[in-house]
A and B are shown apart, each in its own frame.
Chain A
């Protein structure tokens, strides 16, 4: 199961994330986001828009690599993947 870490800012809206070890069984990032939403209702709409695309100012890393498919989140995961849901900074 992939392990997921989150930007701390998300704890404000989803307090249950704080200190939680989040492990999700998913083959793709899109599936992971869908399953996260079951566990933490509403979180998918913080990470992605209603068309399933990654929000412009959110980044998802698999290990240290940014996901390539921001539009449909089709990047593959392995059972050992470490996934990071982060704020995308653009300076300032």
Chain B
């Protein structure tokens, strides 16, 4: 049953935790290869992993049984795709528009880069009526969809050419600018926007939403033909105008499966909650409160007002608060938060929990950390048990 198997995407391979009568046992695949994300498609039963070979580049891998893996036809950006990556002077010198010392007297132009796969950063599967559909989010900001279990992938061009990133920039001269500022992930010295969250409406699988760090949230209600920004109510407190349309920094977005109008977001600037399908957001945390900064968020499968976070101290200190790990839960849409610490280390903890490293299956929750800890709760987060503390740095945790 779902909840008895957990896929850990780690720095050193894909580790599968399988619950047995005598506890959890482990299986290893892709030994030594960083796995940025791994998940199982509930519609087909296939397992999927995004790999980051140090030499051979990012790869998508799939398996029918979780043991024997193969390369499906790979995700590739179509010929001619390119994107705006900041600005440069007309003689090709990069310009940082946020740098007060940047030269202001020289004319600038958008800096163009070719579309090339740098990293697989998110996965989501189609609705029950879409067997074999898989959505993949990538860096740089690509949204790829396959409708044939990974035999072919198509880059979503309406999103690639969205007005928020400068429109269609495939041809010179480019006079527009992108409002996707990027950040958060660095691959080969490059930091460009990545799609890290994909949520599919379980009641309408042609409606899905994505989130991008330092850009915001977008929604499509027509199966990806058109996309609208969904950032009303978000606050980007690191910008001169916090209620700006674009430039928000969601760390992860999650949806309530039974009540898909209830959407949650752990954002760089706090926790945000929407009761109207992301049309409007409300901040439900405040600075100084335990639940405020962090990366992941889990939403209850039935109750849209119930969510969990694993807080970290702050953006300039991304570790457990005062060396003590805790999980916070709200059951009233973020009006109040309870802290749960039983079973979690309460001193000398330096764990960081990445955005995809926290998951829920019914009453069971699990999270993994950069320090190689995995904790599981069987009572909705109220107490925790260590499953191991010597795992590699953990990038993703997903029940299978």
Contacts and interface: CB of A to CB of B under 8 A. Distances in A.
Interface of A: 7, 9-10, 13, 42, 45-47, 49-51, 53, 55-58, 87-88
Contact of A87 (B55, B74, B76, B116): B55
B55 A50 contact: no
B277 interface: no
Contacts of B188: 56
Given A42-B71, A56-B188, A50 B77 contact: yes
Nearest to B72: A42
Given A7-B55, A45-B57, A47-B56, 10 more contacts: A13-B56, A46-B59, A49-B116, A49-B117, A50-B77, A50-B117, A51-B116, A53-B116, A58-B55, A58-B56
Contacts of A53: 116
Contact of B55 (A42, A49, A51, A55): A55
B14 to A, nearest CB: 15
28 contacts: A9-B55, A10-B56, A13-B56, A13-B71, A42-B71, A45-B57, A45-B59, A45-B74, A46-B53, A46-B59, A47-B56, A49-B57, A49-B116, A49-B117, A50-B76, A50-B77, A50-B115, A50-B116, A50-B117, A51-B116, A53-B116, A55-B55, A55-B57, A57-B54, A58-B55, A58-B56, A87-B55, A88-B55
Contacts of B59: 45-46
Contacts of B53: 46
B139 to A, nearest CB: 13
A54 to B, nearest CB: 11
Contacts of A10: 56
Contact of B74 (A42, A47, A56): A42
Contact of A57 (B55, B116, B117): B55
B114 interface: yes
A88 B74 CA distance: 23
Contact of A55 (B56, B76, B115): B56
A55 B53 CA distance: 11
B73 to A, nearest CB: 8
B190 to A, nearest CB: 10
A46 B117 CA distance: 12
Nearest to A58: B55
A39 to B, nearest CB: 16
Nearest to A42: B71
B282 to A, nearest CB: 42
Contacts of B77: 50
B12 to A, nearest CB: 15
A51 B118 CA distance: 12
Interface string B48-76: 00000111110100000000000100101
B348 to A, nearest CB: 28
Contacts of A45: 57, 59, 74, 76
A42 B76 CA distance: 12
Contacts of A9: 55
Nearest to B116: A49
Contacts of B76: 45, 50
A7 B74 CA distance: 22
B57 A46 contact: yes
B76 to A, nearest CB: 4
A83 to B, nearest CB: 17
Interface in B161-190: 188
